[in-house]
Amino acid sequence: MTYKQDYNRKYGFKPLSKSHSLKDISKTTGYKLSGLKTIYSKGIGAYKTNPSSVRPQVTSAEQWAMARVYASINPKSKSYKIDKSHLVKNTKKKKVPKGYHRMPDGSIMKDSDMKKKY
């Protein structure tokens, strides 16, 4: 089974051969798009600098690069160990609504409750 098929099975996509954009992979996995783009670029570079190591069924640098991205998001692959420094989870904090305050632990509390508590 390919890493793309593993990805599709893990996240419930059918058919297992379905392709995804980097943006889709980022949304599904929670990894930052910038990190996935870096891995994609490394795949393009690897294809172009060492074409003799590329399997015959791979017909383009883009195909090789996407295969590297799919492999990199699978913790069981060698590529994951190499590229994991680029795989950073998105940790956007929720916007604090008016009348609320972010506490040091990251939780959100109503301003009126803070006055009673503190």
Residues of the chain with pLDDT under 50: none
Please state the domain extents for the chain: 3-86, 91-118
* Residue 35: predicted pLDDT: 95
* Residue 72: predicted pLDDT: 96
Strand partners, 110: 100
Q: Is the peptide bond before 15 cis (omega within 30 degrees of 0)?
A: yes
* Residue 51: predicted pLDDT: 83
Dihedral over alpha carbons 60, 16, 9, 6 (to 10 degrees): -30
* Residue 115: predicted pLDDT: 59
Alpha-carbon gap, residue 17 to 35, rounded angstroms = 23
* Residue 93: predicted pLDDT: 63
* Residue 116: predicted pLDDT: 57
